């Protein structure tokens, strides 16, 4: 039985349009004039990419359901072209046991719009003092492959060293939220001219750079895999470049907002622009784009962080940090990287799908578009233009910093193992 035929799409935006025949969730044939299927996805003029993988998503469930649930977050992911997301551990309760991790995994399966992979906490309760049961979580049915205390830095160098050493035997990756909290006490914004004038306590870029330098040294000695979350500073890029050249097994992500937005947006004190690490200078944003093109920064990860209105409609200091990202990630990458010619569609596939799937240890995502491979795709209209409206996004919260912005490229459909999960702005019922 034929499941689906995608007609007239250009894989990676290259060459002549082809038809892709999908059977039992797998690509059965690629050619022209393919038909006879139960369902046709007309993809004329569209770019066919492997489904996107987000290494850094906050789905808020359990414990923060007023801001997002696994159901609403999965919908946002599918609409954004994502077929797998890594759900961060800073829920309530914290995902520091196989029980919580399994719950998240199972809720993801029940919703069925995107593969939800729980990230396990590195330390118990994100407390930074006692290692969580990494092995139990890795070996459980939740199959945890990434561990992070994201939101908090694993600050104690001894705990970080032990976690890296311990993780190396499990073939899992430790993802570090690099922030020396002694240097960011009370910090509210990027330490620079804008924050100084606004009277917002500064978050110096050195607080990120120094932890990354330390952890690269620890990972080198432990021969362990280290992943750096949401790199925001040009100086950190220099550290990463040197570490990679020296053979350290380190990878790094950048968020869409650090590619596009800067601290110039802070002058009105609207906390929708408050995020951790903070929006930095225009020079930093430019360095992020160059490093992503160069490959020093491996992937784009959203750091999708929904916050209900009551956590954002406050004075700046009281507002929670974070912004929505799943449904705008592709458009921001196209706007900042593809339009200026710093990435082609192959590059988009690399930073949004292939490399994140490798880092997260997902064998059936980020695969080539070829016969015998999983039919897991994002279909993108490269000529589409849309205006972002927070209230219309699928997330329960609406804290998008791109409100009212016209952005290029739309996700027309998302396909997960042959099943259409989103199409024309609606998720599968």
Partner 1 sequence: MRHLLSVTDLDAAAATALLDTADRLRQALLGREVRKLPTLRGRTVITMFYENSTRTRVSFEVAGKWMSADTVNVSASGSSVAKGESLRDTALTLSAMGGDCLVVRHPASGAAHRLAGWVDKDRASTGTATAIVNAGDGTHEHPTQALLDAATLRDRLGGIAGRRIAIVGDVLHSRVARSNVFLLATLGAEVVLVAPPTLLPVGVEQWPCRVSPELDAELPTLDAVMMLRVQAERMHGAFFPSAREYAVGYGLSEDRAALLPEHAVVLHPGPMVRGMEIAPAVADAPSSAVLAQVRNGVHVRMAVLYHLLAGAPE
- Give the active site residues: 303
What residues numbered 111-130 form the site for partner 1, per CB under 8 A?
Answer: none
Site for partner 1 in 157-196 (CB under 8 A): 188, 191-196
Q: Quick one: which of 129, 283, 310, 392 contacts partner 1 (CB under 8 A)?
A: 310
Give least dist CB 152 to partner 1, A. Answer: 22
Write down the residue that tokens 């004038």 correspond to.
197
The nearer residue to partner 1, 8 or 204, going by C-beta atoms, is 204
The residues with which 381 forms a beta bridge, in sequence order, are 410
- Angle at alpha carbon of residue 70, lines to 65 and 71, rounded to 5°: 100
Determine if 264 is a binding residue for partner 1 (CB under 8 A).
no
- Residues 6 or more apart whose Cβ sits within 8 Å of residue 313: 271
Cα–Cα distance between 285 and 260 in angstroms, integer?
A: 6
Within positions 191 to 220, which residues make up the interface with partner 1, using CB under 8 A?
191-202, 204
Question: Can you read off the two tokens belonging to residue 254?
Answer: 């950048």
Choosing from 16, 44, 315, 424, the residue that interacts with partner 1 (CB under 8 A) is 315
- Structure tokens belonging to residue 229: 């979350």
The residue range among 126-134, 253-261, 268-276, 378-386 that interacts with partner 1, by the rule CB under 8 A, is: 268-276
Task: Number of residues interacting with partner 1: please give it, by CB under 8 A.
Answer: 24
Give the contact letters, 318-337, x = binds to partner 1 (CB under 8 A), - = no.
Answer: x-------------------
State the DSSP code for 345.
Answer: H
User: Which residues lie below 8 Å from residue 165, measured CB to CB, with a gap of 6+?
Assistant: 222, 224
Nearer to partner 1, 312 or 365 (CB): 312
Looking at the Cβ atoms of 56 and 190, the one nearer to partner 1 is 190
Residue 50, both tokens: 């492997």
Give CA–CA dist 287/357, Å, rounded: 24
As a whole number of angstroms, the distance between CA 421 and CA 30 comes to 21
Both tokens of residue 73?
Answer: 């977050």
CB closer to partner 1 out of 331 and 400: 400
Taking CB under 8 A as the binding criterion, the range among 73-81, 283-291, 293-301, 316-324 that sits at the site for partner 1 is: 316-324
> What is the contact surface with partner 1 in residues (CB under 8 A)?
188, 191-202, 204, 268-270, 310, 313-318
């Amino acid at each position: 039985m034929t499941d689906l035929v995608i007609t007239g799409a250009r894989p990676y935006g290259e060459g002549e349009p082809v038809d892709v025949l999908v059977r039992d969730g797998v690509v059965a044939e690629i050619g022209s004039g393919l038909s006879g299927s139960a369902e046709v996805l007309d993809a004329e003029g569209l770019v066919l990419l492997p489904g996107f993988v987000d290494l850094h998503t906050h789905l808020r469930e359990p414990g923060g359901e007023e801001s997002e649930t696994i159901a609403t977050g999965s919908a946002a992911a599918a609409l954004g072209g994502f077929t797998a997301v890594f759900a961060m551990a800073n829920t309530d309760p914290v995902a520091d046991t196989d029980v919580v991790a399994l719950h998240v995994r199972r809720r993801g399966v029940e919703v069925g719009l995107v593969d939800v992979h729980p990230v396990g906490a590195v330390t118990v309760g994100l407390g930074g003092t006692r290692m969580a049961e990494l092995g139990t979580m890795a070996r459980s049915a939740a199959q945890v492959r990434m561990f992070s205390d994201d939101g908090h830095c694993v600050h104690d160098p001894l705990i970080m060293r032990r976690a890296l050493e311990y993780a190396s035997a499990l073939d899992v990756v430790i993802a570090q939220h690099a922030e020396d909290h002694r240097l960011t006490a009370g910090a509210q914004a990027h330490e620079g001219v804008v924050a100084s004038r606004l009277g917002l306590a500064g978050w110096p870029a050195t607080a990120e750079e120094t932890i990354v330098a330390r952890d690269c040294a620890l990972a080198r000695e432990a021969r362990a895999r280290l992943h750096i979350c949401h790199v925001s500073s040009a100086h950190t890029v220099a550290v990463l470049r040197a570490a990679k050249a020296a053979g350290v097994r380190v990878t790094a992500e950048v968020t869409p907002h650090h590619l596009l937005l800067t601290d110039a947006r802070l002058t009105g004190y609207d906390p929708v622009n408050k995020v951790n690490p903070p929006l930095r200078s225009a020079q930093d944003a430019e360095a992020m784009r160059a490093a992503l093109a160069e490959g020093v920064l491996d992937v784009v990860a959203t750091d999708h962080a929904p916050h209900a209105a009551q956590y954002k409609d406050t004075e700046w200091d009281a507002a929670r940090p974070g912004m929505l990202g799943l449904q705008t990630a592709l458009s921001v990458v196209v706007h900042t990287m593809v339009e200026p010619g710093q990435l082609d569609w192959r590059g988009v596939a690399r930073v949004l799908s292939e490399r994140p799937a490798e880092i997260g240890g997902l064998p059936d995502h980020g695969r080539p578009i070829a016969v015998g491979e999983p039919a897991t795709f994002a279909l993108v209209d490269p000529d589409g233009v849309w205006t972002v409206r927070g209230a219309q996004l699928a997330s329960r919260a609406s804290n998008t910093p791109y409100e009212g912005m016209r952005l290029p490229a739309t996700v027309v459909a998302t396909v997960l193992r042959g099943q259409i999960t989103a199409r024309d702005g609606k998720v599968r019922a």
